Amino acid sequence: MPNFDPLKTPPHVTLANFYPFKPQEVAAPRWSESNLFLPVTSGRGVVQVGPERFELSQGQVLQIPWASPIHYRADARDPFVLIGLHFKYLPWSDVSTPPLHTYTKLDMSKRSMQAPPVPQPFDEAFVFTPPPQSRIFDTAIAIAKAFEHERLRKSDSDCEARLRALALEFLILVRDLRHGSRVLDTHPQAGVVAELMSFIDLSFAQRLKRSDLAERAGISESSLASAFRAVTGKSPIDYLIDIRLAHARTLLSASRQRVSEVAEHVGIPDVYYFSKLFKRRLGVSPLQYRQQRRL
């Protein structure tokens, strides 16, 4: 909706949790007084939103508009694990309340069971796959953890403030990615940029220079930089760095590799430069990041 103002009615988290489905588990149709986001952390399954059917798998995010009727079915062999983020859009001073979940008066042919009380950021359901360098999943996990902390310590105003800030960051990330996908579809050199992005995604560990990327794209370095920035909001080298650090974050969280090995694996063999770059981009050193993720 064009009248949505994230400063006037920012997102407030009314519920946030992890839900690991069992094989073939079905969650009965229901609707909620909230705008729901469903990042898929693993597995796959099907979510029906009104008359639309979405097949989801790991790494995707489903956005569900206000009060849409929803039906879940997990895969038989690899059931999905979802993070459910329920947002209400309220003035900063208003207190968030849990969303109403109801199983009554369901009509899966409808797109919404109730008109939203205020303008919403999106009025249609859609699925998107954040690129590896995106902070969408990191932010979603942080929201779920902060919500649990806030629920256990109801008087912690600092936690509530952090929760609202994280929700606003998440929403802005979604809107930016949504806008970026539309630019990618309409820019005259969208095909060149999309092909180069795919190449970088697969070849990030190689030694790549600006001249190499421009030669592969078949255009000058300046033309490539201009087109790449118009589509992605950043230069090709910045995109490459983001991809490398995204893979580094995964290795630091999920493996026992030494920092030097992680740096080598993602295409930055100079461990001192890697550590400096990591801290400049993420605010913590690689070792600090690993410790935080394993708390």
Region 49-76: mean pLDDT is 93
CA–CA dist 154, 134 (Å, integer): 31
Residue 148: the pLDDT is 83
> What strands, in cross-sheet order, belong to the sheet with 44-49?
52-57, 44-49, 70-74, 26-32, 101-102
Q: Which of 132, 276, 265 is nearest to 201 (CA)?
A: 132
Region 46-75: mean pLDDT is 93
Provide Rg for the chain, Cα atoms: 21
Residue 161: the pLDDT is 81
Residue 281 has pLDDT above 50, yes or no: yes
Secondary structure (3-state) at 182: helix
State the greatest distance between any 2 C-alpha atoms of the chain, in Å, as a whole number.
Answer: 61
Residue 134: the pLDDT is 78
Task: Give the tens place of pLDDT for each residue, 146-182.
Answer: 888 766 655 566 777 888 889 999 998 888 777 655 5
Question: Any residues with CB less than 8 A from the CB of 270 and at least 6 apart, and which?
Answer: 263
Residue 107: the pLDDT is 79
Beta bridge partners of 35: 87
Region 59-81: mean pLDDT is 93
Task: Give the tens place of pLDDT for each residue, 11-36.
Answer: 999 999 999 999 999 987 888 889 99
The strand pair at 81-89 and 70-74 is best described as unpaired
Task: Give the tens place of pLDDT for each residue, 182-199.
Answer: 555 566 777 788 888 888
Contact indicator for 31, 67 with CB cutoff of 8 Å:
yes
Distance of CA 133 to the CA centre of its chain: 10
Region 228-254: mean pLDDT is 85
Residue 231: the pLDDT is 77
Extract the tokens encoding 80: 């999905």
Residue 26: the pLDDT is 93
Q: What's phi and psi for 259, nearest 5 deg?
A: -60, -40
* Alpha carbon separation from 101 to 32, 33, 187, 203, 208 (Å, rounded): 5, 7, 42, 46, 51
Contact indicator for 149, 156 with CB cutoff of 8 Å:
yes
Contact indicator for 74, 25 with CB cutoff of 8 Å:
yes
Q: Residue for token digits 């989801």?
A: 56
